[in-house]
Amino acid sequence: MCGGSACLREAFTDANESSQYSYIFPGQGSQAVGMGLELYQSSAAAKAVFQEADDSLDTSLSQLIFHGPADVLQDTVNSQPAIMTVSIACWRAWQEARGADTTVPMAVAGHSLGEYTSLVVSGVLDFSDGVKLVRERGRLMQQASQWRPGSMAAILGLDEFTLEQVCAETGVELANINTEDQIVISGDKRAVARAMDLSLARGAKKAIPLQVSGAFHSSLMYQAQQGLQEAISGLQLRDAQIPIIANSTGCPIHTADQVREELIRGLCQCVRWKASVEYMVGAGVSHFVEFGPGRVLSSLIKRIDRGVQAVTISDPEGIKKLAQGPA
């Protein structure tokens, strides 16, 4: 656990004390053909991000993002760098629009892949290194899924304790604790199917199979974890300029060593998004700004705590609406 309320406040002493904002970044599954195109056409800062991604990866990622085909964009090796690129483009376009008035957030956080985007925003990684790292992460995850096939399912309306019992009985694992009543499980395909049936028998409202290529955030990603460790070892990571709320604990991390450990273990561990949001709210965050495609995280935050505000910036209209605000 992270500690009491005093500890929560101390964790953010390096951030702008007048800020009550957190910047958050979506994970895989938010991709869609055409995302970010309006920003590319309207913002010089966003356009530069897409160009940097293309140059860094030595491929026309931007054309795949803007024009598809959708099934190729859907591939993990493509969707992960694509979502990071669009998220950073949204953030840079926002900075361009706000200029010197841009608020320094109390913290940054991202859901799974989005955690890597938060590293760029917090200064741990340059964008060029970040987009290359997430492409390699996606490649490793896709490869691990072929070696050890698996699946994932969202369980709605069942508490964490009961679902932990279901996991123990079926051999699946908790992958994402998104809200109190939305938890994702991961594991062997047959085991996930049994866990879905058992969850419904134990009172779950729904058990929804997810359209993913593997058992992400489970022990079936062990081989990917080993490859990722090697990839990260070749990177120069910096200490964070803004506290990062870690997926695996829901607590802040600051140093390059802490980030390295978090990334390596993250592929096989549960994403504790609910705990992350609750930590930030307890520390004084009252406004969340989601940069990137879709509105998944903003929707989850509103279900976790109705007392905070959450908005999404994914296009020029979103920037325009918030351009006069304090964020």
* 100 and 121 fall within a common domain: yes
For the CA atoms of 286, 292, 296, 301, the dihedral, rounded to the nearest 10 degrees, stands at -10
E strands, 254-294, in order: 287-291
pLDDT digits (tens, 9 = 90+) for 130-158: 999 999 999 999 999 999 999 999 999 99
* 203 and 134 fall within a common domain: no
pLDDT of residue 133: 98
pLDDT of residue 8: 45
Residue 306 lies in a domain: yes
CA–CA separation, 245 and 274 (whole Å): 11
* 119 and 177 fall within a common domain: no
CA–CA separation, 211 and 215 (whole Å): 11
Percent of the chain scoring above 70 in pLDDT? 92
Active site residues per annotation:
112, 217
Amino acid identity at 26: P
Listed residues 163, 182, 209: the one ending a domain: 209
Structural domain count of the chain: 2
Domain hosting 169: range is 150-209
Confidence at 119, pLDDT banded by 50, 70, 90 = very high
* 103 and 155 fall within a common domain: no
The answer on pLDDT for 71 being more than 80 is: yes
* 172 and 257 fall within a common domain: no
Which is it for strands 107-110 and 287-291: parallel, antiparallel or unpaired? unpaired
* 98 and 247 fall within a common domain: yes
pLDDT of residue 13: 47
pLDDT digits (tens, 9 = 90+) for 286-304: 999 999 999 999 999 999 9
* 300 and 191 fall within a common domain: no
Here the tokens at position 299 are: 């929707």
Residue 120 lies in a domain: yes
pLDDT of residue 3: 54
* 112 and 222 fall within a common domain: yes
* Residue of 134, 61, 31, 48 lying closest to 92 (CA atoms): 48
The answer on pLDDT for 258 being more than 70 is: yes
Residue 327 lies in a domain: no
Here the tokens at position 327 are: 């964020």
pLDDT of residue 232: 95
pLDDT of residue 19: 64
* 161 and 303 fall within a common domain: no
Phi, psi of 87 (to 5 degrees): -65, -45
Residue 203 lies in a domain: yes
Confidence at 6, pLDDT banded by 50, 70, 90 = very low
pLDDT digits (tens, 9 = 90+) for 200-250: 999 999 999 998 889 999 999 999 999 999 999 989 999 999 999 999 999
Listed residues 209, 235, 254: the one ending a domain: 209
pLDDT digits (tens, 9 = 90+) for 17-62: 446 999 999 999 999 999 999 999 999 999 999 999 999 999 999 9
CATH for 167: 3.30.70.250
* 223 and 141 fall within a common domain: yes
> How confident is the prediction for the chain on average, in pLDDT?
92
pTM assigned to the model: 0.93
Listed residues 209, 232, 254: the one ending a domain: 209
Here the tokens at position 142 are: 């896709």
CATH for 111: 3.40.366.10
E strands, the chain, in order: 21-25, 107-110, 151-156, 173-179, 182-187, 206-209, 244-245, 252-253, 287-291, 309-313
* 84 and 175 fall within a common domain: no
* 174 and 274 fall within a common domain: no
> Mean per-residue pLDDT for 241-264?
97
